[in-house]
Copies of this chain bind each other. A is one copy, B any other.
Amino acid sequence: MLCIRRHIPLSPLRQTSSPINWKSLRFLATFKPAEPLTIRDINQHTVEAKYAVRGKIPIIADGLQDLIHNNPESHGLPFSKIVNANIGNPQQLEQRPLTWYRQVLSILQYPDVLKSNHNYPKDVVTRAETILKSIGSVGAYSHSQGAQLFRKSIADFIAKRDGYPANPSNLFLTSGASTAVSYLLQILSADENSGFLIPIPQYPLYTATIALNNAKPIGYYLDEHNHWSTNPEEIRELIEKNKANGVNIKALVVINPGNPTGSILSPQDMIELIDIAAEYGLVLIADEVYQENIFKGKFVSFKRILSELLESEPETYKNVQLASLHSTSKGVSGECGQRGGYMELVGFKPEVKDIVFKLASINLCSVVSGQALMELMINPPKEGDESYELYKKETGSIHNDLETRADLLYHAFLEMEDIKCNKPMGAMYIFPTLEFSPEKYHKLFSRAKNSDLQIDDIYCIELLEHTGICCVPGNGFGQKEGTFHLRTTFLPPGKEWIDRWTDFHKAFVNKYKD
């Protein structure tokens, strides 16, 4: 039968576009077709991985958004748009991109624009020309680690930030920080007994990626009552306990400034964490993507503290393996869609760094315009440059907006009955506690009992359904047994959405309070 099917009168080169009349074939396939794959037939780790930031509730929100979009007049909802407070996506929430970034990027995309009259500032043109001279075109693959020029520039930025040198050959340009996390966790997941210490609450990218690699997440709690600080004794106990159970912990993940907590670690907490990494040979994964989002004082990086410790106690710290992550998606940049980021590896054996290089090579390279954006972010206009004043004005006002919005929302939460939260020190999020007790909120708890929903799920779903505000239940990030939180960004502009939230909260409390 097959041999007859192979006699269809088409030469190997006759690539016609007019439909081929299969019906003219007298012989048809006789085999019994197989069934399509079900989720039971595929990689169960991909089935089990969870990612709340774009999970259950954001998916409901997408549905409501479509409903509004398709029935602008007749959607029947008590609100006319979704407020996406579930994800740190500033430019979706009306934050304007920085002129400096976008002017240079527009020239990189279309250098011929300089051949006609244009009114780009001198320093914009010079920077674009410098970049193009070095990389040729943003349309060409770069070196797997990222273009040499950008890595040199990032190394200078780190040296200036920390007061200690950085080596361009230790730098990997990545698509946001997510790619860096995925490389590191994949490489460190030696087998199903490989464990990763992650903060609770955490950014769910970590639990999701750990699940994909069939490794073990080991949660260490941040102390909500002490600015979400870390407890080294607890972490040491976790390491020993897991070792005893045959779990081989590979890395200690730290998110500073904190996501979802919005808190900042003290230098002494950071020293303790470095000590733990040094003593147990753990890779310290420092997720520092919010390093620009600090309201008071200046950012202190793990690289700087490690460098200072190395200076005073080289023998103790010479083997510490630090991976520090940065991104163009956060800060005052907020260029999430441009997918820029970098990772600095310190103290890794070259043979292990070669494996990171190989993974980067398999993906060819990170988007080159995103690499350029990282350069523009860490090497901005200097005083005296034509773009400087505007850059300063724009970054200043974004920084102020963020602080003002954080403050507005924080004070609104303070006013809400049975909600407690820490004053946000940085990042883009607040992670308030819903202090709903089974005694006082009996109706709420019995509703939860009769559904597969948790208390914080119910709160976030009703918040979405009544106000269009989309945030994420604390259980998506991890929280102490019997406590309930939610994560919201403070990015949405204006006070109107906060007032709606306040009204909703009153109604919710009245509805469920006994």
In the bound complex, CA of A19 to CA of B20 (Å)? 75
A92–B297 CB distance below 8 A: no
Which B residue's beta carbon lies closest to that of A271?
B5
Q: Which of A257-302 contact B (CB under 8 A)?
A: 264-269, 271-272, 275, 278-281, 283, 294, 296-300
**A313 and B22 contact, Cβ closer than 8 Å, known pairs A281-B36, A364-B336, A367-B370:** yes
Which B residue's beta carbon lies closest to that of A317?
B33
A11 within 8 A of B: yes
B139–A91 CB distance below 8 A: yes
Of A46-54, A429-437, A452-460, A474-482, the one with at least 4 CB within 8 A of chain B: A46-54
In the bound complex, CA of A143 to CA of B311 (Å)? 47
Of A351-359, A380-388, A492-500, A503-511, the one with at least 4 CB within 8 A of chain B: A351-359
B141–A279 CB distance below 8 A: no
Nearest Cβ distance between residue A85 and chain B, in whole angstroms?
14
B337–A10 CB distance below 8 A: no
Contact of A15 among B209, B297, B363 (CB under 8 A): B297
In the bound complex, CA of A113 to CA of B121 (Å)? 12
A396 within 8 A of B: no
A190 within 8 A of B: yes
Contact of A17 among B102, B110, B141, B298 (CB under 8 A): B298
Question: Which residues of chain B have C-beta atoms less than 8 A from A71's C-beta?
Answer: none
A178–B363 CB distance below 8 A: yes
B15–A296 CB distance below 8 A: yes
Nearest Cβ distance between residue A124 and chain B, in whole angstroms?
10
**A36 and B348 contact, Cβ closer than 8 Å, known pairs A43-B189, A297-B15, A425-B13:** yes
B334–A139 CB distance below 8 A: yes
A419 within 8 A of B: no
A244 within 8 A of B: no
Question: Which residues of chain B have C-beta atoms less than 8 A from A208's C-beta?
Answer: 362
Of A24-32, A406-414, A440-448, A463-471, the one with at least 4 CB within 8 A of chain B: A24-32
A87 within 8 A of B: yes
Q: Which of A202-243 contact B (CB under 8 A)?
A: 205, 208-209, 212-213, 227, 229, 232
Nearest Cβ distance between residue A444 and chain B, in whole angstroms?
29
Question: Which residues of chain B have C-beta atoms less than 8 A from A91's C-beta?
Answer: 136-137, 139-140
Question: Which residues of chain B have C-beta atoms less than 8 A from A10's C-beta?
Answer: 266-268
B110–A315 CB distance below 8 A: no
* Total residues of chain A contacting the partner, CB 8 A: 148
B268–A42 CB distance below 8 A: no
Which B residue's beta carbon lies closest to that of A275?
B29
A186 within 8 A of B: yes
Nearest Cβ distance between residue A8 and chain B, in whole angstroms?
5
Which B residue's beta carbon lies closest to that of A300?
B15
Contact of A12 among B227, B315, B347, B367 (CB under 8 A): B227
A37–B205 CB distance below 8 A: no
Contact of A20 among B43, B92, B308 (CB under 8 A): B308
Nearest Cβ distance between residue A476 and chain B, in whole angstroms?
12
In the bound complex, CA of A453 to CA of B461 (Å)? 63
A41 within 8 A of B: yes
**A296 and B13 contact, Cβ closer than 8 Å, known pairs A23-B312, A36-B281:** yes
Question: Which residues of chain B have C-beta atoms less than 8 A from A137's C-beta?
Answer: 91-92, 97, 337
A106–B110 CB distance below 8 A: yes
A316–B33 CB distance below 8 A: yes
- Contacts A37-B321, A182-B363 known; 16 new A-B pairs at CB < 8 A: A7-B268, A13-B425, A15-B298, A31-B316, A32-B279, A33-B315, A33-B320, A37-B352, A38-B349, A44-B190, A89-B141, A90-B140, A105-B110, A109-B369, A337-B365, A339-B367
Pull 30 A–B residue pairs with CB atoms less than 8 Å apart, ordered by A.
A5-B268, A5-B275, A12-B227, A13-B296, A22-B309, A31-B279, A32-B279, A33-B278, A33-B316, A33-B317, A34-B279, A34-B281, A37-B283, A37-B352, A38-B349, A42-B352, A42-B355, A43-B213, A46-B358, A55-B361, A97-B137, A109-B369, A113-B118, A178-B364, A212-B362, A336-B364, A337-B365, A337-B368, A339-B366, A369-B369
